[in-house]
Amino acid sequence: MDCRITPHLFDLPKVSDPRGNLSFLESEGHVPFRVRRAYWIYDVPGGMYRDGHAFRTQQEVIIALSGSFDVVLNDGTGEVRHHMARSYYALYVPPMTWRKIDNFSTNAVVLVLSSTEYDPADYIEDFDEYLRLSSLTPSITNSKNCPSAKDTDIKSPAPLPTASVDDCQIINLDKHHHANGNLTVVQNGDPIPFDIQRVYYLYDIPGGESRGGHAHRQLRQLLVAMSGSFDVVLDDGSRQRRVSLNRPYQGLLVVPGMWRELENFSSGSVCLCLASLHYSEADYIRDHDDFLSQIQHKR
Ligand code: T46
């Protein structure tokens, strides 16, 4: 694991699968800080740019979920351009780094994981001011940046809670309109009722594919169609409900104790999941009969 405090690209896990590929990042694991906020930029007209700025304290990790764009860093000695075009690598950007994003392809989607909640006072919008402040800022040691083990990891299976398909809600997320692309943000606890411990996404999905038949014992998730569309079929053991997702500013909150299948993926779709726990196979029930018998046992 690379813990440098300098900006750097790093590889993400890529689980290759004929049903579509999957990559994931864990807070204070692959992401070398505690994730407090995730936001995504989409509907950017091809060729457009987002203005440059630096953050006083915010660290971030930037990923191309779809399409491509360039992240351009400038510490005052010249520009360093990172072309972001693959969903299985990410760019770490430390605080006090001037960065802009440009050269958006059509249908590009940027995912940013941030170490801070939104705070306009953290922005430095003027490049000369940035240069002045960065000359005064002492260099940061890398030790506090290194990942540590999380006590949210599941060690042994928890009992399966009972839930209703009606407990899974559609959450309409804010859409910040901008001529250079729209932006949607989710912070820990707002509007999701959990902290983001893990982010994973499904991509390169052949049109018409299905995946995901299982239930979780404790995991809470927000599923978002970052691109394209798909259906989520929820099953609480008594009733089924089908929810179609097709907007990057709409999420489906899936509660524990719910069997779910993802179906009817459109070509080019990308499914983002913000998850309340690190990955643990102990949290899965992957056999439907086993799920039904555990649910019926409780009713
Ligand atoms: C869900 C649906 C919608 C990891 O190592 N870390 C992770 O964070 C994830 C999500 C997966 N993996 C490994 C475990 C498997 O070896 O990636 C492989 C594929 O995962 P899985 O078979 O669980 O993929 P899906 O599409 O059936 O389910 C996934 C999520 O696991 C699940 O939580 O709700 O997407």
Q: With a 6 A CB cut-off, is 153 part of the ligand 1 pocket?
A: no
- In angstroms, what is the span from residue 166 Cα to ligand 1's centroid? 24
User: Domains in the chain and their CATH numbers?
Assistant: 8-124 (2.60.120.10), 165-174+199-298 (2.60.120.10)
pLDDT of residue 4 exceeding 60, the answer is no
What are 117-138's pLDDT values in tens digits? 999 999 999 999 999 999 887 6
Q: With bands split at pLDDT 50, 70 and 90, how would you rate the model's confidence at 274?
A: very high
pLDDT (mean) for 167-196: 97
What pairing do the DSSP bridges indicate for beta strands 89-93 and 14-15? unpaired
Task: Give me 65's structure tokens.
Answer: 């979920």
Q: Is there a contact between 113 and 61 (Cβ–Cβ < 8 Å)? A: yes
Q: Is there a contact between 275 and 220 (Cβ–Cβ < 8 Å)? A: yes
Q: Alpha-carbon distance 163 to 235, whole Å?
A: 10
Q: With a 6 A CB cut-off, is 198 part of the ligand 1 pocket?
A: yes
Q: Alpha-carbon distance 299 to 296, whole Å?
A: 5
Question: Which of 93, 72, 109 lies closest to 9, judged by CA?
Answer: 93
Q: Alpha-carbon distance 178 to 165, whole Å?
A: 35
Q: Is there a contact between 83 and 42 (Cβ–Cβ < 8 Å)? A: no
pLDDT of residue 200 exceeding 70, the answer is yes
- In angstroms, what is the span from residue 13 Cα to ligand 1's centroid? 12
Ligand 1 atom, smallest distance to 284 CA: 33
Task: Give me 282's structure tokens.
Answer: 């102990």
Cβ contacts of residue 134 below 8 Å, gap of 6+? 54, 75, 76, 96
Question: For the chain, what is the mean pLDDT?
Answer: 93
Q: Alpha-carbon distance 184 to 99, whole Å?
A: 19
Share of the chain above pLDDT 70, in %: 92
Question: Which of 205, 207, 209, 263 lies closest to 234, judged by CA?
Answer: 263
- In angstroms, what is the span from residue 290 Cα to ligand 1's centroid? 19
Residue 117 CA, chain-centre distance (Å), reads 15
The count of C-alpha atoms lying within 13 angstroms of the C-alpha of 7, restricted to the half-sphere facing its C-beta, is 20
pLDDT (mean) for 137-145: 53
pLDDT (mean) for 149-177: 85
Residue 16 confidence (pLDDT)? 97
Which residues are part of the catalytic machinery? 214
Q: With a 6 A CB cut-off, is 286 part of the ligand 1 pocket?
A: no
Residue 61 confidence (pLDDT)? 98
SS3 letters for 90-134? EEEECCCCEEEEECCCCCCEEEEEECCCCCHHHEECCHHHHHHHH
Q: Alpha-carbon distance 222 to 260, whole Å?
A: 13
Q: With a 6 A CB cut-off, is 205 part of the ligand 1 pocket?
A: no
pLDDT of residue 153 exceeding 70, the answer is no
For tokens 């995730």, what's the residue?
A: 38
